[in-house]
């Protein structure tokens, strides 16, 4: 959202360039002055900072998590999402985390141990396409959140990425886990090799979801509910819920 905000008589065009530079450095949300103001006062364009999509994903799933809840982190990575979920399901809740890379499993276990959350988290080295092999049968239809953060592991080999065919299999399996008020969160990255192909596969998968059972929305794309329209290969967050 962009708003135009008059700053008052103490910030007029007579202020020195040095003073203006200082103001902008202290308040980075202010853009250059708009010279078209007819009242002789400087008007700045206020640009409200946007939350990173990973934060928006967390905001979306919080409403579906509670003490004693069940959650799955299908792409454990460095363990940040796993700990986020574990903190919110409480001591009686459970989280299962999967990752295909040994270094990710090690990093996630370390994060969980440092946060003293080990008793409520199980971490497995596994392809997320096989997640139903690692999730208890009792979780089917009772899982509050399934979270995917696709692409490659930050700080690791960028050639090792999630793949369209295994991602789609994992997403389909995730739907069977969701409780009636559960949510599936999928964060897609398009800037790496294979990212666009994965987005195409996920888009097709979304279009084929039965609308009488599931609703979904995409955040970060130019056109609502179209995860393939994007600017500069920016990430896209897709949220799927039961209806």
Does residue 220 share a domain with residue 152? yes
pLDDT tens digits, residue range 164-204? Answer: 999 999 999 999 999 999 999 999 988 777 888 999 999 99
103 burial (CB, 10 Å; 0-12 / 13-18 / 19+) is: middle
Report which of 216, 213, 188 is spatially closest to residue 75, judged by C-alpha positions.
188
d(CA 186, CA 236): 8
Residues 42 and 80 in one domain: no
Same domain, 163 and 140: yes
Do 60 and 33 fall into the same domain?
no
Q: What percent of the chain has pLDDT over 90?
A: 61
Residues 79 and 191 in one domain: yes
Which CATH number fits the domain that encloses residue 65? 3.40.50.150
Same domain as 37, residue 75? no
- Are residue 34 and residue 64 in the same domain, yes or no? no
pLDDT at 107 over 70: yes
The mean of the pLDDT values for the chain is 80
Domain shared by 86 and 149, yes or no = yes
Domain count of the fold of the chain: 2
- Domain that includes residue 154, residue range: 53-242
- Do 36 and 63 lie in one domain? The reply is no
> Are 136 and 116 in the same domain?
yes
Q: Which pLDDT score is estimated for 233?
A: 61
Res 43 pLDDT > 70: no
d(CA 116, CA 102): 21
The pLDDT tens digits of the residues spanning 8-38 come to 333 333 334 444 443 433 333 333 444 444 4
Furthest C-alpha separation in the chain: 71
Domain boundary among 30, 47, 64: 47
Instruction: Report the SS3 class of residue 5.
Output: strand
Task: Say yes or no: 32 and 80 in one domain.
Answer: no
28 and 136 housed in the same domain? no
């Amino acid at each position: 959202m962009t708003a135009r905000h008059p700053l008052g008589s103490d910030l007029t065009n007579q202020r020195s360039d040095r003073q203006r530079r200082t103001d902008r450095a202290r308040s980075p949300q202010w853009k250059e002055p708009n010279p078209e103001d007819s009242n002789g006062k400087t008007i700045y364009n206020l640009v409200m900072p946007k939350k990173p999509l990973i934060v928006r994903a967390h905001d979306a799933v919080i409403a579906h998590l509670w003490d004693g809840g069940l959650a799955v982190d299908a792409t454990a990575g460095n363990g940040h999402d796993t700990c986020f979920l574990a903190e919110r399901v409480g001591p009686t809740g459970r989280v299962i985390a999967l990752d295909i890379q040994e270094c990710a499993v090690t990093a996630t276990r370390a994060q969980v141990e440092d946060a003293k959350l080990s008793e409520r988290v199980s971490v497995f080295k596994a392809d997320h396409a096989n997640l139903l092999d690692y999730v208890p049968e009792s979780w089917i239809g009772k899982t509050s959140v399934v979270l995917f953060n696709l692409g490659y592991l930050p700080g690791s080999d960028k050639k090792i990425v999630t793949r369209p065919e295994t991602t789609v299999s994992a997403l389909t399996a995730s739907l069977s886990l969701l409780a009636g008020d559960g949510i599936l969160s999928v964060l897609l990255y398009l800037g790496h090799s294979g990212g666009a192909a994965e987005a195409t596969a996920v888009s097709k998968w979304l279009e084929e979801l039965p609308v009488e059972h599931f609703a979904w929305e995409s955040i970060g794309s130019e056109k609502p509910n179209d995860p393939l329209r994007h600017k500069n290969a920016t990430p896209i967050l897709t949220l799927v819920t039961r209806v």
